Amino acid sequence: MILTGTVRSGENNFSYWLSKLEPYYTAKTGMKLFPGTLNVHLNRAYEPPSETLCLRKEEYGGEVSVKIMPCRIFGRKAFILRPYRDNVEENYDKRVLEIATDVKLRDAYHLNDGDVVQIEVQ
């Protein structure tokens, strides 16, 4: 399946979380992630399958769990990160994909806010 969306600026907080949780993310993904994600806004909600990888809050003593779904962007191995809270009516916007990989995607592919990108998911 191909998801198409628009690049937008995010909250710039993944570098903070990665500085605290890098060993967990590396163990889950098998990749040392760049300390930033590419935010892609879709026209409709997307929910990663329930059987996807997950960094559970209990693993690191936090309050938020993160679904980690393998994907590809520009042919590069990457991951969709979807934070969520258990038993909360309103979670994060399901139209927003946070794409993490080993490089800064904006620099590597000369991306700017408003650019359209495609993410390949299985």
Pairwise CA distance, residues 118 & 28, whole Å: 24
Res 88: pLDDT:
61
Per-residue pLDDT tens over the stretch 50-87? 788 999 999 998 888 899 999 999 999 999 999 887 76
Supply 44's token pair.
């409709």
CA angle 55, 57, 33 (to 5 degrees): 35
Res 64: pLDDT:
86
pTM above 0.95, yes or no: no
**Which range has the worst mean pLDDT, 30-34, 46-50, 67-71?**
46-50
Number of Cβ within 10 Å of residue 33's Cβ equals 21
Res 91: pLDDT:
64
Res 33: pLDDT:
95
Backbone angles phi, psi at 118, to 5 degrees: -120, 140
User: Residues 95-118: what's their mean pLDDT?
Assistant: 96
